Chains A and B, each alone.
Chain A
Amino acid sequence: MSTTLGITSRFDETAAWALHASVSVRPERFGALLYDFRTRRLTFVKDPMLTRVLTCLAEYGTPQAAFAAVGVPEEAQDRYLVALARLAETEMLTRTSGLVSP
C-alpha cells in the first residue's frame, strides 16, 4: 500500500521501521537534531510530535502503530509519512523484523 505523495511511493508504510543504530537523536525545543555517525549527515526535525514518533518507532514497528501511540491526528499523518520516507531514503530509517525484543 502506498500513498499518492510521490516520494512515499517507494516507502512501504505497512512495514516495520526503526532509526538505524548509527543515528542519534538530540531533543531540542523545536523538535530534534538527528545525526548519523555512519554518513555524518545532520538532519533537523522541526516538530516535537514527529520526534516522539521517531523515538518510539522501534518499539511499535509500523508507522501507523507509532502514530496511534503518540496520538498523531489523522490530517497530519500523510505529512509525517513523507518525512519518514525521506529519512528512509537517506537510510536513517531502516527496515526491521517488527518483532519487539522483550
Chain B
Amino acid sequence: MTAARSTGRSLLTEFEAGLDAPICLTWELTYACNLACVHCLSSSGRRDPRELSTAEAMAIIDELERMQVFYVNIGGGEPTVRADFWDLIDYAVDHHVGVKFSTNGVRLDAAAAARIARTDYVDVQISLDGATAEINDAVRGAGSFDTALRAMDNLVEAGVTGFKVSVVMTRENVDQLDAFKRIADVRGAQLRLTRLRPSGRGADVWDDLHLLPGQQRQLYDWLVDHAEEVLTGDSFFHLSPFGQALPGLNLCGAGRVVCLIDPIGDVYACPFAIHDSFRAGNIRDAGGFTPIWKASPLFAQLREPQSGGLCSSCNFYDSCRGGCMAAKFFTGLPLDGPDPECVQGYGEQLLLGRQDSVRPKPGADHSRLLPLTVKQRGHLPVQACVEDPLAGFDPNAHAPLSA
C-alpha cells in the first residue's frame, strides 16, 4: 500500500477514527469444513442451520457494492463446500466486489482453477501450516498437505500466478520460513504469513503452539529481510518494538477499517474476535450491514481514541500500540494492557499471574464432536468415524464444478 500524501491529520489517526466503509472485510460463508484444524479461529466443522441463504448473501454483496468495499476476504469453515459458492463469487465479481478466498484446496480442481484464471477479480489463498506433510498435517489433519499442494499445482497448470500461500506461524513451523517461501516462489505464488491467535480452537492449543520469545525475534528478522516479498495481513505489528516497523498500517483495525461477517450474519469487530463481547449486530437486523458498520455502539467505542492503559508508560507503545485486542481477550488479559506476546515480556508476566478461569470461551463452537489435539509426529491419522460434512465426497474423483 502506498500513500499520496499531503497535509492534515495522519492516516493512522483517520483510520483509528474509522472509515465510512471497511477497507478489508472478512466474510465467512459457512462453519462447515472437511478439516478440523486444531487452531481454527472460528471453531469450524459443522454447518450451522441458521447460515445465510443465497439471496441473503447476494443482498450483502449489493450492500458492499453500494458502500464501495473493493474486495472481501472470503473464508469459513471451508467456503468452497457451499453449493452456491461459485454463484456468489460470480455475483460479487459482476457487482464490482473483488474476492479473495481462503481454502484448504479440497475442491480446487482443474475446472475451479480455470475459472479463477479467467478473472482479475478473484484471488485465492491456500492454507498451509507446514512446509512438510509432517508439520502441516499435525495441525491441519492427515492428507491436508497433499490436498493443498495438489490445489496449487492445479492453479499453476491453469496459468494462475500470484495466488497466495497462507501460513499461520507456529512454534513448529517457524524454522521452515525459507522452505515456505520456496514452495510459493517455484509456483509463481506469494507467501502470506499470519499470526497464531488464541481464538476459537486456537485457544486450546495456543500455549503449546505460539511462538517462543526467541522465535518471535527469528520471525521479525526474517520479515525485515523479506519485507517486500511476503504479505502479513498486518498481523505482526506487535513485533515492531524489535526495531523498524514492519510494512502495513501497524494498528488494530478492529471495527475501524476491518470487520467480520460470520456465516449466520453476525458482525464482529474482527475475524479473530468471535465472541459476544465483540458482536456489533446481525445483518438480518433492520437495515442490514450498513447501520451496524456506521452506528453500532461497539464500533463507535472502538473508534474512540485509545489510551495506552497499562502500556502508556512503555517507550514502545507508539510502535506496537498495545498489540492485538483478540489475543489479549482470549488469553484473559486486560484489553488496555500488553499483548500476551509483548516483545518486552510484559504480557508474559501478566499471563503468569492470571487465573485460568478468566480465559473467555469462544462465542460459538461448531467443532465436530471429537477431541482435537496437536498430533504427535508419527501418530496414526484421525479415526475413520469422523463425521464429515462432505460425506461421500472424494476430492480426487468428482465431476467438474458446474460452469
Listed in ascending order, the chain A residues whose CB lies under 8 Å from chain B are 22, 24, 26, 28-31, 33, 35, 37-38, 40-47, 50, 79, 83, 86-87, 90
Contact = CB atoms under 8 A, between A and B. Distances in A.
Contacts of A41: 1-2
Contact of A44 (B11, B21, B71, B121): B11
B98 interface: yes
Interface residues of B, number: 24
B257 to A, nearest CB: 10
B120 A30 contact: no
A45 B8 contact: no
Interface string B1-17: 11111111101001000
Contacts of B96: 24, 37
Contacts of A31: 4, 6
B157 interface: no
A43 B70 CA distance: 12
B5 A24 contact: no
A81 to B, nearest CB: 11
B341 interface: no
Contacts, number: 69
A43 B1 contact: yes
Interface string B95-115: 010101000000000000000
A30 B10 CA distance: 9
User: Dominant SS at the A interface?
Assistant: mixed
> 9 closest A-B pairs (Cβ-Cβ)?
A47-B6, A35-B70, A26-B68, A83-B4, A44-B3, A30-B14, A45-B4, A38-B120, A42-B1
Given A30-B14, A37-B98, A38-B120, A43 B71 contact: no
A13 to B, nearest CB: 16
A90 B2 contact: yes
Contacts of A42: 1, 23, 70
Contacts of B3: 43-46
6 contacts: A24-B70, A28-B20, A31-B4, A33-B23, A40-B100, A79-B6
A96 B121 CA distance: 24
Interface of B: 1-9, 11, 14, 19-21, 23, 68, 70-71, 96, 98, 100, 120-121, 123
A30 B11 contact: yes
Contacts of B121: 37
A29 B14 contact: yes
Given A30-B8, A46-B5, 8 more contacts: A28-B19, A28-B20, A38-B120, A40-B71, A43-B1, A45-B3, A46-B4, A46-B6
A40 B98 contact: yes
A27 to B, nearest CB: 9
A32 B173 CA distance: 39
Contacts of B100: 40
B70 A26 contact: yes
A42 B70 CA distance: 9
A78 to B, nearest CB: 13
A43 B5 CA distance: 10
A44 to B, nearest CB: 4
Given A30-B11, A40-B98, A42-B70, A22 B4 contact: no
Given A35-B70, A35-B71, A42-B1, A50 B120 contact: no
A46 B11 contact: yes
A45 B3 CA distance: 6
Contacts of B2: 41, 43-44, 86, 90
A86 B5 CA distance: 11
Contacts of B7: 47
B285 to A, nearest CB: 25
A30 B9 contact: yes
A48 to B, nearest CB: 9
